[in-house]
Structure 1
Amino acid sequence: MTDILYRWPEAARFGKRVPKEKVYEHGTVSSAVREKFINEVQRITWAYKLAEATMNLPGTPAVPEIQVFTIHAKTDEVSDAVLGAIDKAIPFPIIFEITRRSAEQPETRTVAAHKQLGAGAPKTSAYYSTGWHSGNTWRRALPAAITLPALYAALLQPLTPITARPGEEMSEVADRLATVRKLEREVAALEHKLRTEPQFNRKVELRRTLKTKQHELEQQR
């Protein structure tokens, strides 16, 4: 994972405030998630529209445009449930920038999930994130790309804790990362059982299973 912030092109600036109620209207938002919106979110801004008209890059049905949303947080964090509700309400891939104040100095982090559009509701992966950056952090130019799908993949890749393999699509990276996280949980659970298991025969069996899972984990990383 590379901790970077991008310098979004001025030609793509949109700058439209999004009322929370609009998110509620366009998706099924539970009362618990609405409460998170109230407690965590100060303001939502539709900051940039990366589209063929603004970027001169062709899109596809899978990635017709890329939206950049800025979320000004009331607290130190904005939960994935809030991001998920916005992702479900907007039928385009989204890159989120979350801003907060820390000791009077604004900080920003980039968050996104890989979003797959289709006939039904969009399918999103787990959320990936950079660390927090101070407000005066230098922003890097956007990665070179010849299409919007290529740009989307290039924006997502630095957020993920694993590296895409040659020829691997971002949807495959997302699936592999989900497998990695599942195996990490299984390895942690087996290590805990191994430490607390009193029976020798059972320890041998657990150790064998643990080595198998650790090997599977290394193969996926």
Structure 2
Amino acid sequence: MSDLLYRWPATAEFGARVSKEKVYEHGNVQTAVREKFVSEVRRITWAYKLAEATIHLPGTDAVPEIQVFRIEAKGADVSDPVLNAIDKAIPSPIVFEISRSQGDVELVRMAAAHKQLSSGAPRLSAYYSTGWLPANTRRQPLPTAIALPALYTALLDPLTPVAARPGENVSEVAARLETVRKLEREIAALERKLRTEPQLNRKIELRRTLKTKQATLDSLR
């Protein structure tokens, strides 16, 4: 994971305020999540629209556009259920920039999930994020890409614990991320068992399984 912020193209600036009610309307938001919107979110801005018309990169059915949403937090942060509700309300991938005030300093973090569009509700991976950075951090140019799907993969690449492989598309990266998360949970469970297992032969078996799963995890990363 890299701590960076992108310099979004001026040609893609959208700057539309998004009301919480619109998200509720389009995202089928449950009461508990609405309460999080009220307590956590001060303002939502649809800041940029990365599309063929704005940055001259063609889209596809999988990635027709990429949106950049800025969320101003009331308190220390904005939780993943809020991001998830917004993601489900918008029919294209989103990169979030979340800001908060800490004394006289404004901090920003970038967050996103791998989003796969379908005829029904989009499929979303877990959310990945940079650390908190000063708002005046020098921003980096967008990654070089020839189409929006490649740009989307490249934008999310620094956020995730796995690097996109050459030619790998968004759904393939998302599937590998899910496998990585599953293996991490299995390895943690095996390590707990190993610490408490009293029988030597069982310990040897657990170590062998643990070593195999760790090697698989390393290869996926």
Matches within 5 A, 1:28-43: 28-43=28-43
Distance 1:135 1:168 in 2: 32
Partner residue in 1 for 2:26? 26
- 1:77 maps to a residue whose letter is D
**Unpaired segments of 5 or more residues in structure 2?**
none
Distance, in Å, in 2 between the alignment partners of 1:184 and 1:114 is 19
Q: Secondary structure at the match of 1:172?
A: helix
**1:112 paired residue number:** 112
CA distance in 2, matches of 1:190, 1:102: 40
Corresponding residue SS for 1:48:
strand
Q: Give the AA of the match of 1:67.
A: Q
- Deviation at residue 83 of structure 1 after TM alignment: 0.5
Deviation string, structure 1 residues 97-136 (Cα, Å, up to 9, x no partner): 0001112200111111111112111111111111111011
Q: Distance in 1 between matches of 2:208 and 2:64?
A: 48
Q: How many residues align?
A: 221
Post-superposition Cα deviations, 1:27-72, rounded to whole Å, max 9, x if no partner, equal 2211111111111111100011111111122212211111100000
Asked whether the equivalents of residues 5 and 110 of structure 2 are also in contact (C-alpha less than 8 Å), the reply is yes
4+ residue runs over 4 A deviation: none
Q: Is the 8 A contact 2:162 2:220 kept in 1?
A: no
Deviation of residue 193 (structure 1)?
A: 1.2
Which residue does 2:209 correspond to in 1?
209
Q: What is the TM-score of this pair, normalised by structure 1?
A: 0.95
- Give the Å deviation of 1:21: 0.8
Q: What is the CA–CA distance in structure 2 between the aligned matches of 1:144 and 1:200, rounded to whole Å?
A: 54
Displacement of 1:94 in angstroms is 0.5
Specify the alignment match of 1:181 in structure 2: 181
* Partner deviation per Cα, 1:143-191 (whole Å, 9 max, x = no partner): 2222222221221111111112222222211111111111111111111
- Are the structure 2 counterparts of residues 167 and 51 from structure 1 closer, same or farther at C-alpha, using a change threshold of 3 Å? closer
SS in 2 for 1:26: helix
Per mean C-alpha deviation after superposition, the further-off stretch among 16-25 and 2-11 is 2-11
Paired residue type of 1:207: R
Within 5 Å, give how 1:153-172 maps onto structure 2. 153-172=153-172
Q: Which residue pairs with 1:62 in the alignment?
A: 62
Contact 2:69–2:95 (8 Å) recurs in 1: yes
- CA–CA distance in structure 2, aligned partners of residues 98 and 31 of structure 1: 22
Q: CA RMSD in A?
A: 1.3
Long gaps (5+) in structure 1: none
Q: Residues 149 and 169 of structure 2 are in contact (CA less than 8 Å); yes or no, is this contact kept in structure 1?
A: no
TM-score by length of 2: 0.95
**In the alignment, what sits opposite 2:75?**
75
TM-fit CA distance, 1:212: 2.1
CA distance in 2, matches of 1:146, 1:219: 28
Distance in 2 separating the partners of 1:129 and 1:27: 22
TM-superposed CA distance for 1:86, in Å, is: 0.3
| 3-state SS, counterpart of residue 6 of structure 1 | coil
